[in-house]
Amino acid sequence: MIIFGLILTAVGALFVIKTDWFLQNFGGIEFFDKNLRTSGGSRLGWKLLGLIFIIIGVLMMTGSGGQFWGWVLSPLIKTQNPNI
């Protein structure tokens, strides 16, 4: 898992650093252009994808993915002990 997380983090960093290269070679992302309504919607979309990849990669490397998702979803999930 550490190696896969490291690879995912590196790919995410490339998305963030080389956004213009990805935009020129793979084109814009219509969803981001339409919904973000900024002048650089696709650029922002590539950077957001990169940040998501980086976060998931770091969570995989540290092995804290389960704890993180438990924390994120804790308001929606009822726990056994109400004092927690």
pTM of this structure: 0.77
Neighbours of 45 (CB within 10 A): 22
* Mean pLDDT calculated for residue range 55-80: 85
Residue 23 has, within 13 A of its CA and on its CB side, a CA count of 19
Q: Which alpha helices (H) appear in 1-84, and where do they start and end?
A: 2-17, 19-26, 30-36, 41-62, 65-73
Q: What percent of the chain has pLDDT over 90?
A: 43
Give residue 7's pLDDT. Answer: 95
Q: Does 17 score more than 90 pLDDT?
A: yes
Q: What percent of the chain has pLDDT over 70?
A: 92
Give residue 12's pLDDT. Answer: 95
